[in-house]
Each structure stands twice: as C-alpha cells, then as structure tokens.
Amino acid sequence: DVKVTQSSRYLVKRTGEKVFLECVQDMDHENMFWYRQDPGLGLRLIYFSYDVKMKEKGDIPEGYSVSREKKERFSLILESASTNQTSMYLCASSHRGDTGELFFGEGSRLTVL
Amino acid sequence: KNQVEQSPQSLIILEGKNCTLQCNYTVSPFSNLRWYKQDTGRGPVSLTIMTFSENTKSNGRYTATLDADTKQSSLHITASQLSDSASYICVVSEQTGANNLFFGTGTRLTVIP
C-alpha cells in the first residue's frame, strides 16, 4: 500500500520556537509538496521539490524553509513559529509530469501559542 | 486569473439520497481535473482524474463529469452513505508544470441518517 507519512499528527508550540515537520514517501516519487490548509482558503502551496536538493517557492513561502536531502524525505521548517502559522499542514508527492496523481499524508495540525 | 470555484459550500442530505457537487474553473491551458475526498482531520484522497478528452469517469458510487468547453465539472454521489460525509475538493492542473495546481475551497457534505 503506497504511503506518505507525516511525522506528527498534532503539535503545540510556543511563539518563536523552531518547528520541524517531516514527510516520508515510499513510492519513489520525484515531486514532493508542502501545503497548508485553512478554513475557507483551501490548500495553498508553501514549497515544492522536483528532485533531491531542488526546491521552488509556492504561493506562501514567507516564514518557511524546506530541505530535501534524500528523495523520499521532504522537511518543512518554521524557523521562528508565529501564531498566524497555526494551521493544518499537508505533505503530498507525485511522479514527475503534470498528470501525476497527488498522494497526501494524513496532515499535521500545528498550534502556535 | 486562474481560479477554481466550488458550489455549494456545504450540503446536508439524507442517507440514501443522491447529490451533485459543482466545480467551475478558469484555468488555462487545461491539463486535467481531479476530485478528492477529505475526511475531517485527514489528508485528501483521490477519487478521479479526468483529462481534456474524458467527459465522464466513475469510481464506485462517485461519477465525475467534465465539460471542457464550458469549463465545468460535477461530482455525482449515488445512494449516499454516512461515510460519504467529508469535504470534496476540486483541483485543476495547468499544462505548464506539476506544481501548477489550482484548488477549490471544497464542498462540505454531511449525510444524516
């Protein structure tokens, strides 16, 4: 069974803390994505990676960075968490090519106090 | 401007009834249209993917239609079950790349006994 696994389902952090969200896929996908999902706004792309060590900014990269050192792993980093980063974070992966089906992880709900 | 709009925002139906969800888009050039089901607190799961040349696609009790001329899609759910209660998200892919996906804000469906 194909899988995208996110390291934490629920996190509570304090303002200013550094936060790591990890995502691992077992499908040998080239593309990996980080989205955030907020009520009424739908999914918004934070960062996208199409290969190891390659990354592209999405629509809302401010306040975030990413790391892709291995093909199967894509990490999202919040250098200094703020309350407006409280959200559901979704990782996804797909094969190269724009018709590639997106496979999502279960999501990480982050609350920043 | 590339956009995806879904209607209605929310819907409540009785178990066993049918329903239809709508998706209108302005994305161009068009590559494919996807419907995802997202249970509360979980990641989205793909239901169907349709390319320009496909005008209907079924997945069990779910049937998606696509009219590429009017840029409209619908998702029809037959004989609804309580487990169909979820958000349904329409996603349209632009031809220019794997990261050019445009997400609707979803329709929240509640099936009541």
pLDDT of residue B99: 67
Give the closest-approach CA distance of A17 to chain B in angstroms: 24
- The two structure tokens encoding residue A6: 């996110």
CB contact under 8 A, A102 and B46: yes
Q: Where is pLDDT greater, at A79 or B52?
A: A79
Nearest to A17 by CA among A67, A86, A70: A86
With a cut of 80, say whether residue B2 has pLDDT above it: no
- The two structure tokens encoding residue A29: 């996908």
B92: exposed, middle or buried (C-beta count within 10 Å: 0-12, 13-18, 19+)?
buried
Interface of A with B in 65-104 (CB under 8 A): 90, 92, 94, 96-104
What percent of chain A is modeled with pLDDT above 90?
86
Write down the mean pLDDT value for chain A: 93
Please compute the mean of the pLDDT values over residues A91-96 and round it to a whole number: 91
Please compute the mean of the pLDDT values over residues A9-15 and round it to a whole number: 96
pLDDT of residue B98: 61
Helix (H) or strand (E) holding A74: strand A73-78
With a cut of 80, say whether residue B1 has pLDDT above it: no
Contacts of A26 (CB under 8 A, 6+ apart): A2, A3, A5, A72
Per-residue confidence band for A2, with pLDDT thresholds at 50, 70 and 90: low
How many Cβ atoms from other residues are within 10 Å of residue B7's Cβ?
Answer: 11
Give tens-digit pLDDT for B21-77.
Answer: 999 999 988 889 999 999 998 999 999 999 988 999 999 999 999 999 999 999 999
With a cut of 90, say whether residue A95 has pLDDT above it: no
pLDDT of residue B95: 79
Return the ∠ at Cα A107 (arms to B95 and A18), rounded to 5°.
105
Give the closest-approach CA distance of B87 to chain A in angstroms: 11
